[in-house]
């Protein structure tokens, strides 16, 4: 006996093939059978005629990494079919930092999240568990470069020293080992805006070691977009890390009509071997 049978839905299975009508049987939390007509017993049969039956969607750019602490139902995602979220975007997380600089992270996190501000991803998860908090969707965590930089050197608007870069690498490496999927950049915001290519490449070296990803809110999203793209390409050229452009636009009057040029810019880079996605 199955636990559930979803009867009469339109199956979109994620393989890029055409959709088709079928029943879906579920047992012990897993899909047990997909067939045109499943004529077996089940604890519950749900008529899903007229609905799509699909794997949960992955939100590739989410800022829900702390909102679940206020409402763990995550209904705004669940109702859209989203079951996994890549969060910690645009350089923002509330970790990590050196153990002796927690004040930097508390300041970066803000007064509402003071308790959850943490020295590491693992410490954050431990605090979440200790409070009995849960997230209805699956969290795919990134480490925010802005948080990383603030944790090590505050909001100082200057080039990082070799020692500070090494400390950022150490903290990132520790959190990648703990399960982070990469580092996100927020180069249009403080303190990330103060970073340079050397710093970004150094973090790229750590991400590449774990085959991670670097999503970026780029430094420019206007007529200077090609300059910002080159900054991202250079991370890949020097380290091999996969870079991803989170916001790809031609913003502002000076960039009107240049969208095709920017698209071609990325296409040419990919053809030349740069591992960049949009």
- What is the per-residue pLDDT for 86? 97
Residues 48 and 89 in one domain: no
Classify residue 72 as exposed, middle or buried by CB count within 10 Å of its CB (0-12, 13-18, 19+).
middle
pLDDT in tens, 163-221: 999 999 999 999 999 999 999 999 999 999 999 999 999 999 999 999 999 999 999 99
pLDDT in tens, 157-173: 999 999 999 999 999 99
Residues 150 and 44 in one domain: no
Residues 193 and 92 in one domain: yes
CB 73 within 8 A of CB 136: yes
Q: What per-residue string of b and e applies to 180-203 under the rule 16 or more CB within 10 Å gives b?
A: bbbbbbbbbeebbebbeeebbbbb
The Cα 52–Cα 98 span in angstroms is 47
pLDDT in tens, 121-159: 999 999 999 999 999 999 999 999 999 999 999 999 999
pLDDT in tens, 98-123: 999 999 999 999 999 999 999 999 99
Calculate the dihedral angle through the C-alpha atoms of 191, 193, 196, 201, rounding to the nearest 10 degrees: 80
- What is the per-residue pLDDT for 62? 95
CB 3 within 8 A of CB 26: yes
Q: Which helix (H) or strand (E) holds 167?
A: helix 162-177
Q: Token pair of 119, please? A: 């020295």
CA distance readout (Å), 209 to 87, 120, 240, 267: 21, 19, 9, 25
The Cα 82–Cα 25 span in angstroms is 21
Residues 6+ positions from 243 with CB-CB distance below 8 Å? 204, 213, 214, 216, 232, 233, 235, 236, 274, 275, 276, 277
CA distance readout (Å), 64 to 67, 112, 141, 166, 278: 5, 15, 10, 29, 21
User: In the listed set 10, 38, 53, which residue is the last one of a domain according to the structure?
Assistant: 53
Residues 34 and 85 in one domain: no
Residues 85 and 166 in one domain: yes
pLDDT in tens, 12-69: 998 999 999 999 999 999 999 999 999 999 999 999 999 999 999 999 999 988 999 9
- What is the per-residue pLDDT for 163? 98
Question: Is 27 strand, coil or helix?
Answer: strand
Residues 168 and 228 in one domain: yes
Mean of pLDDT values over 253-268: 97
Binned at pLDDT 50, 70 and 90, residue 268 comes out as very high
Residues 74 and 153 in one domain: yes
Residues 29 and 162 in one domain: no
- What is the per-residue pLDDT for 252? 96
User: In the listed set 37, 53, 69, which residue is the last one of a domain according to the structure?
Assistant: 53
pTM of the model: 0.91
Residues 173 and 48 in one domain: no
Residues 23 and 123 in one domain: no
Mean of pLDDT values over 261-272: 98
User: In the listed set 25, 53, 81, which residue is the last one of a domain according to the structure?
Assistant: 53
- The domain that holds 22 is classified in CATH as 2.30.40.10
Residues 35 and 151 in one domain: no
- What is the per-residue pLDDT for 232? 98
- Give the range of the structural domain holding residue 175, as residue numbers without chain letter: 57-277
Total count of domains within the chain: 2
Mean of pLDDT values over 241-267: 97
- The domain that holds 140 is classified in CATH as 3.20.20.140
Residues 49 and 142 in one domain: no
């Amino acid at each position: 006996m199955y636990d559930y049978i979803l009867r009469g839905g339109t199956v979109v299975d994620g393989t890029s093939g055409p959709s088709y009508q079928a029943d879906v049987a579920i047992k012990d939390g897993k899909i047990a059978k997909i067939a045109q007509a499943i004529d077996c017993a089940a604890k519950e049969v749900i008529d899903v005629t007229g609905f799509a039956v699909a794997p949960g969607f992955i939100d590739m750019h989410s800022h829900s990494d702390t909102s679940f602490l206020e409402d763990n139902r995550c209904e705004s995602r669940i109702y859209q079919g989203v079951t996994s979220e890549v969060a910690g975007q645009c350089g923002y997380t509330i970790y990590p930092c050196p153990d002796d600089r927690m004040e930097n992270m508390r300041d970066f996190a803000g007064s509402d999240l003071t308790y959850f501000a943490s020295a590491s991803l693992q410490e954050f998860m431990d605090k979440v568990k200790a409070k009995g908090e849960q997230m209805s969707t699956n969290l795919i965590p990134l480490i925010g470069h802005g948080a990383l930089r603030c944790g090590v050197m505050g909001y100082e608007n200057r080039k990082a020293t070799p020692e500070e870069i090494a400390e950022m690498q150490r903290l990132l490496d520790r959190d990648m080992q703990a399960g982070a999927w990469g580092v996100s950049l927020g180069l249009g915001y403080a303190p990330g805006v103060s970073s340079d290519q050397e710093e970004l490449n150094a973090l790229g070296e750590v991400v590449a070691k774990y085959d991670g990803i670097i999503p970026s809110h780029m430094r420019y999203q206007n007529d200077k977009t090609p300059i910002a793209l080159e900054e991202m390409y250079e991370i890949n050229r020097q380290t091999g890390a996969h870079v991803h452009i989170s916001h790809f636009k031609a913003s502002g009057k000076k960039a009107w009509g240049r969208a095709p040029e920017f698209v071609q810019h990325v296409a040419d880079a990919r053809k030349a071997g740069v591992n960049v996605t949009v």
